Amino acid sequence: MATPMVRAESVHKSFGRNEVLRGIDIEVAPREVMCIIGPSGSGKSTFLRCINHLEKIDAGRLWVDGELVGYQERGGRLHELPDREVCRKRSEIGMVFQGFNLFPHMTALENVIEAPVRVKKEAAAVATERGRALLDRVGLGDKMDAHPRQLSGGQQQRVAIARALAMQPKLMLFDEPTSALDPELVGDVLNVMRDLAHEGMTMIVVTHEMGFAREVGDSLVFMDSGMIVEAGTPRDVIGNPQQQRTKDFLSKVL
Amino acid sequence: MTEFTADPPVPPGPPRQRPAAIRAVPLRHPWRWVAAVLVVLILAGVVDTFITAPYLRWSVVGQYLFDDRILEACVVTLYLTAIAMAVGVTLGVLLAVMRLSPNRVMSSVSWLYIWFFRGTPVLVQLFFWFSIADILPYLSIGIPFTHVMVQASTNTLITPLLAAILGLGLNEAAYMAEIVRAGIISVDHGQTEAAQALGMRRPQVMRRIVLPQAMRVIVPPTGNETISMLKTTSLAYIVTLHELFFVSQEISFFNYRVIEMLIVASIWYLVMSSILTVFQYYIERHFARGAVRGLPPTPIQRLRRMLFQFHAVPPFGSDAEPDVEPWLPPAPPHSGM
C-alpha cells in the first residue's frame, strides 16, 4: 500500500491546562478528500494546524508523506527540526484559512506569486505566468491587479486558494473556508474546491458544508471535544450514524 | 451533479417615482456667531499687544531673517534632524524586533535600553556625550590579549555634531522602538500565519509581510517625531553645535535684540516644520494603499473641491457627487487651478 499522505497516531495537544486534542488517529491516502466536521471547540482547526506545524503537538506522532512533522527521529530520540526544514515542509502543504488572510498591501497577483518567488526562488516571469493561469482558473482573470479590499469575500477566498496552489503543494488543508462568506458567495468557492478534488489533490477540509462533504468527500470524520467520535464514508456517517453524539450534531446541522 | 450556486436574484418590482428633493429652511445658530466674534476679538487683542510692543524692532527681524549665518544654521538644523532621525529609526526598528524576539536576552536588553534612554532627560544625555572625554580620554578598538588596536583621542573623535547625533539619535531610538513595536503588534496574527503556512522564513515574514503593513501605524507618529526632533535639535546648543537656536542667540549677544532673534529663529522653525508636515501627508497617503478603498485627497485636490463646492453645493440626490469614489471629486471644468 502507498504511503499515506497524512498519518496521525494518538496526537495530543494542550493549550495550558486546556486539552484540545485527546488522541487523534487518522490516515489520509494520496488523492483522498477527507472532511472533518464537529462543533466549534472540538479541535478540528487545531488538528489541521498541527499538520503543517503551525502548532506543536505534545504527544503522539504525526507524519506527512512518510516524514515526521516538525521532528526527526535519530537514535531513538526525537530532535526538533531546524526552522529551515520546517519551512521547507510547510511550503509543500497549502493552507486556506477561514479569514482568507490575504496580504492587503499586495494585489491579487502579487499575493499569488509572493511565495513562489521568495520561498522557491522561482523566476518572476515564470511565477507570474503560472499565477495568472491560476487566477484565471479560479475565475478571477479580470481581478489580477485588484487589492484584497476591493474584492468580495468569495473572490478573496479564491485568491487565497490560488495563492496556496501556486506553491504546487502535495496536500491542501482547508480551515472552514466558507464560514466567513455570505451565503450567496459560498458556491463559487466550493466549485473551485470540487474541481481541485476531481483533479486528484489530497485535501483535508474542516467544514460545515454537509452538501460538499457528502458529494465531494471520500471520507468524513466527526470530532467532538478533542476526539474522533465517528469516521467512515460520508454516506455512512451522515446517513447512518452509530453514535448518539453524532446523531445529535447532525440533527442540528442538516 | 449539483452546482453549488445561489438562488437567482428576485426581479425588481415596477420602478417607483422618486419624491422631490428636500429643500428645508436651514436652522440658524446665533451662538456660534457670538462665540466666533469673541474668539476673534481676544486673538486680535493678543496679537496687537505683541506686534505693537514699544521696544520690539521688527526691522531687526527683517534684517537678520536672511542673514547668511542664520541660513547656514537652518541647514545644520535640518541635517541634524535628518541624521538623528535616521539613527533613531534604524536603531528603533532593531530594538523593536529584539523586544519581540523569543530570545529572552534580546528582549531584556531592548527593554533595558528603552527604560534607560526614555528615563533620562535628553539634555542630560547630550551633555553626557559632549563631556565623555572627561572620563574616557582615549577610545580604542582592538583584539583582546594582543597589541593590535586602533586608538583615538575622544576629544577629536566626539565633535559637537557627533555628540548631538549620539544624544538625539540614541534617545530617539527608544521612542521609535515603541512606535515600531506598536506597529508590528497591530498587524493581524493571521498575516504571519498565512506567510508561515506558505513556507516563508521568519525574517522574510517580517520584511515582506508584517513591516509593510505596520508602516501604516508607524508612519504618522514617526512624522510627529520628526517634527518634534526638528525643534529638539535646539537643545544641541548645549554641545556648542551651530544650529539655528545657538546661532540666533549668539547674534543676540552682540546686538542685544534677544526677542527679535528668537522671532527670526521661530519663523524658520515654523517654515521647516510646515514643509515637513506636507511631506508627512504625502508619505501617509502612500502607505494607506490597500488599507482604504480610495486614497484621501491631496491638499491641492481638497482645495480645488472646496473652491468648487463653496460656490455650487450640489443639491441632495443630484448626480454631482458620485458615491462610488467619495474621495475623488469630479474635476470641475474651470476650477482656476
> Does B193 sit within 8 Å of A114, measured CB to CB?
no
Q: Which of A52, A54, A56, A103 to mutate to test the interface with B (most CBs of B within 10 A)?
A: A103
Q: CB B5 to CB A93 under 8 A?
A: no
User: Which neighbouring-strand residues pair with A24?
Assistant: A11
- Mean pLDDT across B196-220: 93
- Taking 3-state DSSP, the helix, strand and coil percentages for chain B, each rounded to the nearest 5, stand at 65, 5, 30
Tell me which of B4, B101, B193 to substitute to probe the interface with A (most A C-beta atoms closer than 10 Å).
B4
Check residue B153 and give its pLDDT.
85
Question: Which chain A residue has the Cα nearest residue B197?
Answer: A90
Instruction: Give the residue among B194, B204, B196, B189 at the shortest CA–CA distance from A88.
Output: B196
With cell 506522532, the residue in question is: A61
Closest CA to A206 of A225, A189, A184, A223: A223
Report which DSSP code applies to B11. Answer: P
Asked whether the predicted pLDDT for residue B326 surpasses 70, the reply is no
In whole angstroms, give the CA distance from residue A222 to residue A207: 11
For residue A193, the chain B residue with the least C-alpha distance is B4
Contact A38, A15 (CB under 8 A): no
Is A102 within 8 Å of B194 when comparing Cβ atoms?
Answer: yes
Instruction: Burial-class residue B189 by CB neighbours within 10 Å (0-12, 13-18, 19+).
Output: exposed
Query: Tens digit of pLDDT for each residue in B174-190?
Result: 999 999 999 999 999 99
Distance from CA of A108 to the nearest CA of B (A): 11
- What's phi and psi for A109, nearest 5 deg? -65, -40
Asked if B213's CB is within 8 angstroms of A101's CB, the reply is no
pLDDT (tens digit per residue) in A27-86: 999 999 999 999 988 999 999 999 999 999 999 999 999 999 999 988 889 999 999 999
The model carries a pTM of: 0.78
Cβ separation of A163 and B198 shorter than 8 Å? yes
**Is A87 within 8 Å of B290 when comparing Cβ atoms?**
no
- Across chain B, the runs of DSSP E, i.e. the strands, are 138-142, 149-153
pLDDT of amino acid B216: 87
User: Which residue of B198, B211, B295 to mutate against A (max A Cβ within 10 Å)?
Assistant: B198
Mean pLDDT, rounded, of chain B: 85
Give the model's pLDDT for residue B235. 96
SS3 B87: helix
pLDDT beyond 90 at B66:
yes
Contact (CB, 8 A) for B117 and B92 = no
* Res B330 pLDDT > 60: no
Q: Give residues with Cβ within 8 angstroms of B57, minimum separation 6.
A: B257, B260
Q: In chain B, which residues have their Cβ closer than 8 Å to the Cβ of A106?
A: 290
* Nearest Cα residue to B171 out of B122, B134, B99, B223: B122
The pLDDT of residue B271: 97
Question: What ipTM goes with this model?
Answer: 0.93
Cross-chain residue pair B4–A211, CB shorter than 8 Å: yes
Residues in B 241-260 with any Cβ partner in A closer than 8 A: none
Residue range A135-179, pLDDT digits in tens? 999 999 999 999 999 999 999 999 999 999 999 999 999 999 999
DSSP characters over B256-274: --HHHHHHHHHHHHHHHHH
For residue B178, the model assigns a pLDDT of 95
